[in-house]
Amino acid sequence: MHPPLSDWATYGRKRRREAQDAERSAKVADIVCDVSKDETVKRLLTFKSNASLVLSFPASSSSLTQDLRYALHNAFSNGFQKRHNKPTEMIAHHIDKLLRKGQGSSSDEVFNEQLDAALHFL
């Protein structure tokens, strides 16, 4: 006897979510393993802001939103594990460049947002 159709649908959703989680982790790992370190942190920040934008849209349930938050966190954790200390060094280098350059003509608020975004990874 076959399981009910709802079990198959649940299984399909679970497999699809696992595939999407693996895809996100692979994307972060791809960014982290890129050799052009000046662009790496900028690409990570762009990916993070795009993912956060997706999370800002209302979801059908709060558990779905929480699942997406966990998936994003796991993607960054798994991606950073691909190169152990290197992502931390690149983020520190990016923050150092921001501090040395100073805020220039940008406002305090914009400069602090840039620093906060980079510090979020640490």
pLDDT for position 13: 67
Mean pLDDT by runs of 10 across the 122 residues of the chain is 56 68 76 70 83 72 73 79 76 86 83 85 73
Q: How many CA atoms lie within 13 A of 7 on its CB side?
A: 3
- The region that residue 40 occupies, defined by phi over 0 for left and psi between -120 and 50 for alpha, beta otherwise, is alpha
pLDDT for position 61: 64
